[in-house]
Chains A and B, each alone.
Chain A
Amino acid sequence: MSQDTTQLDDTGAVDPNLPPDPSRRLWVASACTLGGVAGVATVVPFVSSFAPSERAKAAGAPVEVDISAIAPGEMRTVAWRGKPVWILHRTPEQIKDLKKNDPYLADPNSDRPGFTPAFAKNEYRSRKPELFICVGICTHLGCSPTPRFAVGPQPGLPANWEGGFLCPCHGSMYDLAGRVFKNVPAPDNLEVPPYMFSDNDQLLTIGVNEKPKA
């Protein structure tokens, strides 16, 4: 016998000395559990609605650029997936000087995973030594570093500067192969995107690694 017995209206209060009714406890617990599960499940669609939409996912199409007119020492910036991609035509001098930076770099051989595809895992970080292509987004917090190609001592840069990029936000420095210097906030080298050249080397396609098979 417990509080389930019929009671008169004026004795509505449950006798506190009665033990809890196990069958009611079970239903209370079940209702709370099911309600809780349903409540948590309701959060899923709301949280998911924050993810990139189908339209945003579809917007990542490859970009084709005519590179025949980029002179040595010149850099062009194009948009790919909304990000700046740099196409830098390095001079022979600049290519030669890349090696001088090695002792000051955090990851000179691009050993850290994720930012350098296999084809760019060489001293130039590119398919062709003269053409350097990378995503111009600092690996620290995503600003776009500023080109600082002039060689030699200058404000805000080391005295033996060989030309490179300086991030205006937190002072991270990269060399002309997008390799990050030691002891700056950025942890990684600049990302090299997938790209390919056309057969006559006039066109560059950013976003694909090789020609789609016909």
Chain B
Amino acid sequence: MAGEKTVETTGLLGWIDKRFPLTSTYKAHLSEYYAPKNFNFWYFFGSLALLVLVIQIVTGIFLVMNYKPDAALAFASVEYIMREVPWGWLIRYMHSTGASMFFVVVYLHMLRGLFYGSYRKPRELIWIFGVAIFLCLMGEAFFGYLLPWGQMSYWGAQVIVNLFSAIPFIGPDLSLWIRGDYVVSDATLNRFFAFHVIAIPLVLIGLVVAHLVALHEVGSNNPDGVEIKQGPKDRYGRPIDGIPFHPYYTVHDIMGVAGFLLVFAAIVFFAPEMGGYFLEANNFIPADSLKTPPHIAPVWYFTPFYTMLRATTSDFTWVLSAGAVIAAAALFLKGKLSGAWRIIIPVILIIIAVLMKTLEAKFWGVVTMGGSVVIMFFLPWLDRSPVKSIRYRPTWHKFLYAIFIVDFLILGFIGTKPPSPTLNVISQIGTVYYLGFYFLMPVWSRLGKFKQVPDRVTFRAH
């Protein structure tokens, strides 16, 4: 027949392949996708994130079958799922544990990228899609947290929606528009439900596909930061430092999955509330619009960013303002910017420094919190080190990374505690380090004595 493709496969598979790129897709993404052979422990977390996404979607679908997105019924419907729906408790605990484990896995996945320079050229788009996925996850977690309609749900949503009211001029109307009412109410619950179960998941799945397509286009990075495609090749043109994703890494990842499921099941069955970190005690009280619980804190995965919001008081904006002035001076005098940018960027920084003291600290708290996430989009261009992997960086770079990790954990811990003057000073120091780590990266990442990067990946057969 004219126009029919010639394919190697026969029978049913051949019939399909003539009409749909089944075998070629399988080869391109699994059996003939060559990944570096030196992946280590850190490379489990990408596939684990995909596993958690599947867990969340499946358990979510079953939860929606019994949940009622109505301010009068929501809280009781969650209790109904917990007490009366057969195995409902298990499905809900899988979903709530899955939410926290999603962030555990994704934070470790991002840290891997940070260690091995997985965001560097030509993988900038993979990283950008990844940060967009992270933003979607934050949105998904935030919208989902309102649904049980407990005290934490209610006041958490109240605080976050009010963040938008800090934006000059349009803020109050914007937060009214987001809530759809003058307070967080039934209208808010309904729209958050729509975002949580359909809008964001659709975007999320699209971004995950884009993340993987971009990854398979350029190939995976590895702990040495060496490009296997530029290394030696066998007689079929395949990189000899690469191995087919299937069966090698599928089997490898199944081991990761087994380990992950051990931990996951242990939490679901023995500590689903995780001492108040995964499910907060106050959320077992129905929402009361007249009374904020005595201690409110976001779920643990938001606390580092939340602490930076709290740290930004009007005294602290002096520090931020001074930082912007110093950065402007440094860029003007010593920077490597060319032409008009040498003037424009310092001028913008000076304007920001002035606005720091003219606009309210509340607004800058929101900017600091938002900026601490958005800055990650620019990481591929902030890092100027001549090598990708931390393995070949100067030793003191490793200390900067170690302090960054500790700093992130401390900020996270402080965010779970009630505010106090001492903790506030610590969180301000932590915020300065966090911001400095990123903003000064173009400077410090170039400094020091770098080690020789090998031509091929380092690998010891076991």
Q: A143-B155, A183-B315 are in contact. Are A82 and B419 (CB under 8 A)?
A: no
Indicate with 1 or 0, residue by residue over B351-367, a CB within 8 angstroms of chain A CB atoms: 00000000011100100
Inter-subunit contact B296/A83 (CB<8 Å): no
> In whole angstroms, how far apart are the Cα atoms of A142 and B154 in the complex?
11
Inter-subunit contact A51/B177 (CB<8 Å): yes
Which residues 117-175 of B sit at the A interface, judged by CB distance below 8 A? 155, 158-163, 165-166
Name the distance in Å between A191's Cβ and chain B's nearest Cβ. 12
Q: Which of B180, B292, B295, B420 contacts A53 (CB 8 A)?
A: B180
Q: Which residues of A contact B165 (CB under 8 A)?
A: 142
Inter-subunit contact B291/A84 (CB<8 Å): yes
How many chain B residues touch A (CB < 8 A): the figure is 42
Name the distance in Å between A168's Cβ and chain B's nearest Cβ. 5
Q: Which of A60, A143, A171, A187 contacts B292 (CB 8 A)?
A: A143
Inter-subunit contact B362/A50 (CB<8 Å): no
Name the distance in Å between A166's Cβ and chain B's nearest Cβ. 9
Does A170 touch B at the CB level, under 8 Å? yes
Indicate with 1 or 0, residue by residue over B276-302, a CB within 8 angstroms of chain A CB atoms: 000000000000011111111000000
Does A20 touch B at the CB level, under 8 Å? no
Q: A56-B181, A82-B185, A185-B365 are in contact. Are A142 and B159 (CB under 8 A)?
A: yes
Q: Which residues of A contact B289 (CB under 8 A)?
A: 79, 82-84
Q: Which of A53, A183, A187 contacts B362 (CB 8 A)?
A: A187
Does B41 touch A at the CB level, under 8 Å? no
Q: Which residues of B contact A169 (CB under 8 A)?
A: 155, 159, 292, 296
Q: A81-B182, A156-B420 are in contact. Are A183 and B159 (CB under 8 A)?
A: no
Inter-subunit contact A79/B290 (CB<8 Å): yes
Most buried by A among B181, B187, B310: B181
Q: Which residues of A contact B292 (CB under 8 A)?
A: 143-146, 167-169
> In whole angstroms, how far apart are the Cα atoms of A184 and B177 in the complex?
27
> In whole angstroms, how far apart are the Cα atoms of A115 and B163 in the complex?
18
Which residues 108-159 of A sit at the B interface, judged by CB distance below 8 A? 136, 140-146, 155-156
Does A52 touch B at the CB level, under 8 Å? yes
Name the distance in Å between A88's Cβ and chain B's nearest Cβ. 15
How many chain A residues touch B (CB < 8 A): the figure is 33
Inter-subunit contact B182/A184 (CB<8 Å): no
Q: Which residues of A contact B295 (CB under 8 A)?
A: 168
Inter-subunit contact B158/A141 (CB<8 Å): yes
Inter-subunit contact B162/A187 (CB<8 Å): no
> In whole angstroms, how far apart are the Cα atoms of A82 and B158 in the complex?
12
> In whole angstroms, how far apart are the Cα atoms of A168 and B176 in the complex?
23
Does B398 touch A at the CB level, under 8 Å? no
Name the distance in Å between A47's Cβ and chain B's nearest Cβ. 8
**Which chain B residue shows the least CB distance to A82?**
B183
Does A77 touch B at the CB level, under 8 Å? yes
Inter-subunit contact B290/A56 (CB<8 Å): no
**Which chain A residue shows the least CB distance to B163?**
A141
> In whole angstroms, how far apart are the Cα atoms of A155 and B294 in the complex?
14
Q: Which residues of A contact B419 (CB under 8 A)?
A: 156, 170-171
Inter-subunit contact B180/A56 (CB<8 Å): yes
Chain A interface mostly: loop
**Which chain B residue shows the least CB distance to A155?**
B420
Which residues 19-55 of A sit at the B interface, judged by CB distance below 8 A? 50-53
Q: Which residues of A contact B310 (CB under 8 A)?
A: 170-171, 185
Which residues 48-86 of A sit at the B interface, judged by CB distance below 8 A? 50-53, 56, 60, 77, 79, 81-84
**Which chain A residue shows the least CB distance to B365?**
A185
Which residues 288-331 of B sit at the A interface, judged by CB distance below 8 A? 289-296, 309-310, 312-315
Inter-subunit contact A141/B159 (CB<8 Å): yes
Q: Which residues of B contact A177 (CB under 8 A)?
A: none
> In whole angstroms, how far apart are the Cα atoms of A132 and B58 in the complex?
52
> In whole angstroms, how far apart are the Cα atoms of A185 and B176 in the complex?
21
Name the distance in Å between A171's Cβ and chain B's nearest Cβ. 3
> In whole angstroms, how far apart are the Cα atoms of A171 and B311 in the complex?
11
Does B259 touch A at the CB level, under 8 Å? no
Q: Which of B163, B166, B180 contacts A52 (CB 8 A)?
A: B180
Inter-subunit contact B293/A168 (CB<8 Å): yes
> In whole angstroms, how far apart are the Cα atoms of A172 and B374 in the complex?
27
> In whole angstroms, how far apart are the Cα atoms of A146 and B314 in the complex?
22
Name the distance in Å between A106's Cβ and chain B's nearest Cβ. 8
> In whole angstroms, how far apart are the Cα atoms of A119 and B312 in the complex?
33
**Which chain B residue shows the least CB distance to A171?**
B419
Q: Which of A51, A77, A81 contacts B183 (CB 8 A)?
A: A81
**Which chain B residue shows the least CB distance to A136?**
B290
Inter-subunit contact A185/B180 (CB<8 Å): no
> In whole angstroms, how far apart are the Cα atoms of A81 and B159 in the complex?
18
Does A186 touch B at the CB level, under 8 Å? yes
> In whole angstroms, how far apart are the Cα atoms of A50 and B161 in the complex?
14
> In whole angstroms, how far apart are the Cα atoms of A169 and B418 in the complex?
7
Q: Which residues of A contact B178 (CB under 8 A)?
A: 50
Name the distance in Å between B70's Cβ and chain A's nearest Cβ. 14
Q: A143-B292, A168-B292, A169-B155 are in contact. Are A183 and B183 (CB under 8 A)?
A: no
Q: Which residues of B contact A51 (CB under 8 A)?
A: 176-177, 180
Q: Which residues of A contact B185 (CB under 8 A)?
A: 56, 82
> In whole angstroms, how far apart are the Cα atoms of A143 and B156 in the complex?
9
Inter-subunit contact B182/A168 (CB<8 Å): no
Does B191 touch A at the CB level, under 8 Å? yes
**Which chain B residue shows the least CB distance to A145?**
B292
Does B47 touch A at the CB level, under 8 Å? no
11 contacts between A and B (CB under 8 A): A51-B180, A52-B176, A56-B182, A79-B289, A81-B183, A84-B289, A140-B362, A141-B159, A168-B294, A169-B155, A169-B292
Q: 12 more A-B contacts (CB under 8 A) besides A56-B180, A142-B165, A182-B314?
A: A50-B191, A51-B180, A56-B187, A83-B182, A84-B290, A84-B291, A140-B162, A141-B159, A142-B159, A155-B420, A184-B313, A185-B361
Closest 3 CB pairs of A and B: A171-B419, A82-B183, A142-B162
* Residue positions of B touching A, CB distance < 8 A: 155, 158-163, 165-166, 176-183, 185, 187, 191, 289-296, 309-310, 312-315, 360-362, 365, 418-420, 424
